[in-house]
């Protein structure tokens, strides 16, 4: 996925898991896994700063429904299609 931080920095991130109110990600250039909070229609990093998901790439067999509910307009392209 592509994410935009409050500072305006845009980075690639790998979505590792999605829970009922949290996601785990690895952001390009950072050496650690991060856990972000989904709350009231927003996504927050570990320091409480808002994160904007700008793009998601769906992979077959991966469950994204909770994140899609949060970012429905972002998730419309490519979901449900096969990746060869």
Total domains, the chain: 1
Average pLDDT over residues 46-70: 76
First and final CA of the chain: distance in angstroms? 18
Q: Is the pLDDT of residue 37 over 90?
A: yes
Tell me whether residue 84 is in a domain.
Answer: no
pTM beyond cutoff 0.75: no
Range of the domain at 63: 2-70
Tell me whether residue 77 is in a domain.
Answer: no
Tell me whether residue 15 is in a domain.
Answer: yes
Tell me whether residue 12 is in a domain.
Answer: yes
Tell me whether residue 75 is in a domain.
Answer: no
Tell me whether residue 79 is in a domain.
Answer: no
d(CA 29, CA 12): 9
- Where residue 64 falls among pLDDT bands split at 50, 70, 90? low
| Mean residue pLDDT across the chain | 79
Tell me whether residue 46 is in a domain.
Answer: yes
Q: Is the pLDDT of residue 27 over 90?
A: yes
């Amino acid at each position: 996925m592509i994410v935009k931080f409050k500072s305006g920095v845009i980075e690639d991130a790998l979505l590792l898991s999605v829970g009922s109110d949290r996601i785990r990600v690895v952001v390009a250039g950072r050496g650690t896994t991060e856990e972000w909070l989904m709350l009231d229609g927003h996504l927050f990093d570990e320091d409480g700063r808002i994160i904007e998901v700008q793009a998601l790439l769906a992979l077959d067999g991966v469950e994204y429904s909770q994140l899609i509910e949060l970012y429905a307009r972002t998730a419309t392209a490519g979901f449900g299609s096969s990746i060869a």
